[in-house]
Structure 1
C-alpha cells in the first residue's frame, strides 16, 4: 500500500463528504465514506501506524464555496493527499432554487482550486465525480445539467493529473443490482451501503495510484 503513517489525507466537498460530521471537533469524520476509509486504513495497524484523515466537507456547498475556504481548509492543513467531491449542489440548486452554476464557470472555478493545490502543495490529487440516482420523475431531468458538469470534472481532474473515482459509473451500475433507493434514498445522499461502495472505490484507486514527485 502506498499510503503511510506520514500521510495526511484531506477530504473536501459537500454533504456527501460531510456526512454529519461535528464542525466543532477537528477529528470528526462524519458517518460516511470518509469514516469508512479511515476505518479500513486503521484495520490491522497499531496506534499511530495509519495516515491522519481530515474531513472538511460542508453540507450544501457548491464549487464556489470551496474556493472561498481553500486556503484555510486545504492549503494550511498541509495534506499529502487531497480528495475533492463536488458538483451535485451546483446542479441541484438550479432545480430547487433557480440558482444557476454555468458549466464553464463551474469548470473554471474547479480548475483554479486544483491549480492552487498542485502549485502550493506536494500532494496527490483524487477527484470523485458527482453522481445521481434518480428516485423521482423530476430528478430524471437533472441529467441535462449534471452530465456536462461531470464531463467538466473529468476534464479538469485529468488536466491536473488527478486520479478519478468514477462514482457516476460505479453507483448506477450497483443500482442495477441493489436498486437506486437502496444506495441513495433521495437520489443524492448515499445510504450506508452507498458510502461503503464509495470508500471501496477510493481505496482501490488510492492504493493503485502513483505518488506525486
Structure 2
C-alpha cells in the first residue's frame, strides 16, 4: 500500500475535518483519491487553511514526517504573499527559501518519500491581484530551484492555471485569483494525475 500525502494551505485543505485524519475535504485531493480508488494507495490530506510556509514547517513533524509518506506533494506559498498585502507581513524570498528548504531536508534525511512540488499560483482576477506578482514571482522561482536541488517532480501550476484561465475564462477556474471553483479543483486533480503518471510516480 503506497501512502500519498498532500501538504499545503486552504487549496489543499478545502473543508476537511481536522478531527478526522482520513477525511480529504471537498477539493482536488478528494478528486485525486476518487480517481485512484482502484489502486493500492492511501491518500492523506494535511493542508490547513491560512497556512504560510512557516506555519506548515512548524507542524511538519506531526503532519509530515510522522506519517511516513511514500509520495509527498507540497503546494505552499500563496499565503506568504497574501499576508504581505493584507497585513504588510513580508516574507522575503530568501527567508521563504530557507524555511521551505529546511522542510525538504527533513524529508530527505528522515523518509524515503518521493517529492512533488506544486507551484503556488495566482490568476489576474480581480484586478488588484496583478500587484501581488511582485511578491509571488520570486517565490515561484524558489520552488523551481528547490525542485531541481532535491530532485523533486515540479508541477508548474502557475503557468498551467493561467493558460487554463485564458482558455476557459478566469472566473470559471477561480473566485478571487487564488481559491479554485469546483471546476478549478477538478482541473488541479487532473494536472496532478497527469504529471505523476507521465513521470512514473504511479502506474496506470
Q: 1:29 aligns to what? A: 24
5+ long unaligned stretches in structure 2: none
Aligned mates of 2:151, 2:200 — CA distance in 1: 10
1:40 aligned to 2:35?
yes
SS at match of 1:125: strand
Aligned mates of 1:76, 1:25 — CA distance in 2: 16
5+ long unaligned stretches in structure 1: 1-5
Aligned mates of 1:158, 1:16 — CA distance in 2: 24
Report the Cα offset of residue 12 of structure 1.
0.5
Aligned mates of 1:186, 1:78 — CA distance in 2: 34
SS at match of 1:141: helix
1:76 aligned to 2:66?
yes
Report the Cα offset of residue 208 of structure 1.
2.6
- For residues 39-70 of structure 1, the C-alpha deviation after alignment (integer angstroms, 9 at most, x for no partner) is 0001xx2xxx4310000000000110111111
Aligned mates of 2:157, 2:195 — CA distance in 1: 12
1:209 aligned to 2:193?
no
1:61 aligned to 2:51?
yes
SS at match of 1:84: strand
- For residues 97-135 of structure 1, the C-alpha deviation after alignment (integer angstroms, 9 at most, x for no partner) is 111111000011111101110111111100110001121
1:149 aligned to 2:139?
yes
Q: 1:116 aligns to what? A: 106
SS at match of 2:5: strand
Q: 2:170 aligns to what? A: 180
TM-score by length of 1: 0.92
CA RMSD of aligned residues (A): 1.0
Segments of 4+ in structure 1 off by > 2 A? 208-211
TM-score by length of 2: 0.96
SS at match of 1:145: helix
Aligned mates of 2:97, 2:171 — CA distance in 1: 29
Aligned mates of 1:50, 1:170 — CA distance in 2: 29
Aligned mates of 2:40, 2:187 — CA distance in 1: 21
SS at match of 1:98: coil
Report the Cα offset of residue 155 of structure 1.
0.4
Aligned mates of 2:122, 2:40 — CA distance in 1: 32
1:163 counterpart (131, 137, 153): 153
SS at match of 1:155: helix
Aligned mates of 1:25, 1:196 — CA distance in 2: 23
Q: 2:12 aligns to what? A: 17
